[in-house]
Amino acid sequence: MDQTALHPPATFAAGYRPASLLAVGADALALADIADAARALGLLIESRRLDAAALDGMAAAPSAVTVVLALGDEPGEADENACTLLRERAGRGLSALVVAPLAAIDRVAGMLDEPGIALLCQPSPLDLATALALAVAPAPARLHDSGKGHALYPQLQQLSEQMSQLARALAQISDEGDGAASAPPSSVAAQALSYRAERWPAAERPPAAPGEVDAAYVRSIIRGRRLRDSYFAPDLFADPAWDMLLDLTAARLERRDVAVSSLCIAAAVPPTTALRWIKTLTDAGTFRRVADPQDGRRVFITLADDAAEAMLNYLAAARRMASPVA
């Protein structure tokens, strides 16, 4: 058994559970990446190669332990058994992480849809460390109105220390990355909008006429969006929700199914980011999960009917105005 045990720093010892992680998988490199992320956070982790003994360990893992499953390109029977165990743990309210390559994401997304299971696809070290930190973070302490305002101060101070430690760990991981340019400051996205278009009354928003918007038109919009990447940094215009809406609209017009992996590629962002957006838009009712009739372990993603109608009506209205859509 390969085991990595790390002593957490003092700032984490009080707020994070010792021996918090059990990492299981057939990919030694993936297990090493998980251990590195845990090391940066000062977490205790035990790593096991996926076999019958590891499955027994997963089944017996106490509730205080977060299980991390690292899958390979072609999940086999042992991987499916491990996913079944994770679903059972999630059913008891226990969290888990699954790390998978893009080649396996379609099957994995079909097998795991429980709220307590975070699915990461080819995550960056920063994404992985963030997911681990969130998975092992303790539940918020219950606050009681004891009439003593000062009683809350130690809890706030401890939380502040933990967040500072986490920020330093994530910054270290980010600095040790591949040297890519850092993202624009978050304050850019946080600026309040100076202009918002007024929402037109329904009577002034005529529906799209049959054939007014076709797949070729939508695909031309998508090509125009990708053309920008030839002239600017690709992440400058990152808008995965819109890119996926366009791709699913085109696929609907083409009567084509869209797998999770294909939609991740269409999002033009890292796969883990795309998966988060897919989950968010599915939970919001904009996307729908549809079982693959040929393979019950796979799912396709499609637009909800009202979202599809809104997309077609919008694109038709923009086309009538000769307004470029990007």
Structural domain spans, the chain: 3-138+161-172, 202-320
Nearest one of 318, 321, 313, 324 to 249, comparing CA atoms: 313
- Per-residue burial over 252-281, b if 16 or more Cβ lie within 10 Å, else e, is bbeeeebbbbbbbebbbbbbbbbbbbbbeb
Residues of the chain with pLDDT under 70: 1-19, 138-205, 323-326
Cα–Cα distance list, 145 to 127, 139, 142, 148, 150 (Å): 37, 19, 10, 8, 11
The CATH architecture assigned to 3-138+161-172 reads 3-Layer(aba) Sandwich (3.40)
The amino acid that residue 52 corresponds to is A
Nearest one of 305, 260, 292 to 279, comparing CA atoms: 260
* Model pLDDT, residue 180: 43
CA distance 326 to 322: 13
* Model pLDDT, residue 115: 83
Reported as a single tens digit per residue, the pLDDT across 187-196 is: 444 444 444 5
User: Can 3-138+161-172 and 202-320 be said to share one CATH topology?
Assistant: no
Contact 24, 69 (CB under 8 A): yes
Nearest one of 89, 10, 98 to 50, comparing CA atoms: 98
DSSP 8-state assignment for residue 47:
E
CA distance 22 to 14: 20
Structure tokens at 101: 């390559």
Cα–Cα distance list, 165 to 105, 140, 179 (Å): 32, 18, 23
CA distance 23 to 54: 9
Phi (first) and psi of residue 136, to 5 degrees: -95, -5
Cα–Cα distance list, 94 to 63, 91, 118, 276 (Å): 6, 7, 11, 19
Taking domain 202-320, whether its CATH number is 2.170.150.70 is answered by no
146, exposed or middle or buried, with CB in 10 Å at 0-12, 13-18, 19+? Answer: exposed
